[in-house]
């Protein structure tokens, strides 16, 4: 530690400056995401396939345990854990930018290595918020819909679209879900790629991510809405669409991060 009490670690964190982003930056990031996807579509789609596979297993669990009514809240919350799966996509885009060649094995090694870094703690935060959303959805169901006979997804849909209790369930669930989704998006949109790219702790990464959203709220939250809608729609055709959509959005998120966070030590 220096005589001023400032450590090299603190200097590295201070060097990370959050920049405002524009709608054009989002468009450029999305275009770059498409380019990165087509540079190695098989590897990119592998990560999409992993995400889709996890979703199918989750869906099968709901069917086995007769919780089909959970499909809708789970479908709403499921996109929130996409950044956790996209770590390999971030690494691919990073290497494309720096001009480094790589093999599948090298990308998988980087992904596995994250468990020894702060990424594991960030993943815990993501999953904790996701499971809290599932718990809240279950609680809302018990409060508002326990008196209704729901034996299938069709009957559940009928109840929530034709009864007063269903309308209240949707209204409250949407409000609570929006708050949790905004919170989770705000702490992950920049923090996930930042943790992969820099040696920072997960608290710092979350604060930088929140700062990025606060500096460009309309643009960043608009990006979050785009991600949620595209992922949700991609889930509908038996999770097939997610194999393509997730990689493109993952690559695009890396490029948006690259605009939002600047390392002044590197820039000098």
Q: What is the pLDDT of residues 24-56, one digit of tens each?
A: 999 999 999 999 999 999 999 999 888 888 777
Contact present, 20 and 216 (Cβ < 8 Å): yes
What's the pLDDT at 65? Answer: 64
Position 79 confidence tier, pLDDT thresholds 50, 70, 90: low
* pLDDT score of 111 more than 70: yes
Residue-number span of the structural domain to which 178 is assigned: 18-267
pLDDT of residue 42: 95
Q: Is residue 178 part of a domain?
A: yes
Query: Does residue 199 lie within any of the structural domains?
Result: yes
Q: CA 164 to CA 231: how far, in whole Å?
A: 29
pLDDT at 50: 85
Calculated CA dihedral for residues 35, 98, 108, 29, nearest 10 degrees: -40
Note the pLDDT tens digit of each residue in 207-238.
999 999 999 999 999 998 888 888 778 877 77
pTM to 2 decimals? 0.81
Do the beta carbons of residue 36 and residue 102 sit within 8 Å?
no
Nearest Cα to Cα of residue 210 among 181, 189, 180, 179: 189
Per DSSP, what are the bridge partners of residue 262?
A: 17
In this model, does residue 252 exceed pLDDT 80? yes
- Please state, rounded to an integer, the average pLDDT across all residues of the chain: 82
* Domain membership flag for residue 3: no
Look at residue 210 and give its three-state secondary structure.
Answer: helix
What is the structure's pLDDT at 5?
43
- Residue 78: per-residue pLDDT: 63
Over residues 81-95, the mean pLDDT reads 85
- The average pLDDT across 180-204 equals 88
- 35 in a domain, yes or no? yes
Domain count, the chain: 1
Query: Is residue 8 domain-resident?
Result: no
Helix (H, G, I), strand (E, B), or coil: what is residue 103?
Answer: coil
CA–CA gap between residue 93 and residue 264 (Å, rounded): 21
Predicted local distance difference test score (pLDDT) of residue 9: 43
Both tokens assigned to 160: 């929530």
Q: Is residue 4 part of a domain?
A: no
Q: Which pLDDT band holds residue 265 (cuts at 50, 70, 90)?
A: low
Sequence-distant (6+) residues with CB within 8 A of 238 are 56
Least reliable range by pLDDT among 38-47, 59-68, 151-160, 209-218: 59-68
Contact between 181 and 82 (Cβ < 8 Å): no
137 is a domain residue = yes
| Candidate ranges 120-134, 149-163, 192-206, 234-248; pick with highest mean pLDDT | 192-206
The verdict on residue 5 lying in a domain is no
């Amino acid at each position: 530690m220096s005589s001023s009490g400032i450590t090299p670690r603190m200097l590295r964190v201070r060097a990370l400056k959050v920049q405002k982003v524009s709608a054009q930056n989002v468009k450029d990031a999305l275009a770059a995401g498409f380019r990165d996807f087509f540079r190695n579509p098989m590897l990119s789609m592998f990560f999409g396939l992993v995400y889709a596979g996890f979703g199918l297993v989750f869906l099968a669990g709901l069917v086995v345990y007769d919780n089909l009514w959970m499909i809708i809240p789970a479908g709403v919350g499921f996109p929130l854990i996409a950044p956790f799966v996209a770590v390999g996509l971030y690494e691919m885009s990073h290497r494309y930018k720096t001009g480094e060649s790589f093999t599948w094995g090298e990308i998988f090694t980087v992904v596995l290595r994250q468990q020894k870094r702060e990424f594991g703690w960030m993943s815990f935060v993501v999953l904790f918020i996701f499971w809290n959303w599932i718990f809240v959805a279950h609680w809302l169901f018990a409060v508002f819909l326990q008196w209704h006979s729901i034996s299938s997804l069709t009957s559940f849909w009928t109840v929530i679209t034709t009864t007063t209790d269903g309308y209240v369930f949707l209204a409250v669930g949407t409000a609570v879900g929006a708050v949790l989704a905004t919170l989770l998006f705000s702490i992950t949109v920049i923090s996930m790629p930042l943790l992969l790219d820099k040696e920072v702790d997960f608290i710092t990464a979350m604060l930088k991510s929140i700062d990025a959203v606060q500096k460009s709220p309309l643009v960043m939250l608009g990006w979050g809405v785009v991600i949620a809608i595209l992922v949700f729609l991609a889930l509908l055709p038996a999770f097939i669409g997610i194999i393509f959509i997730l990689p493109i959005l993952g690559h695009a998120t890396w490029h948006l991060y690259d605009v939002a966070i600047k390392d002044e030590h590197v820039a000098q």
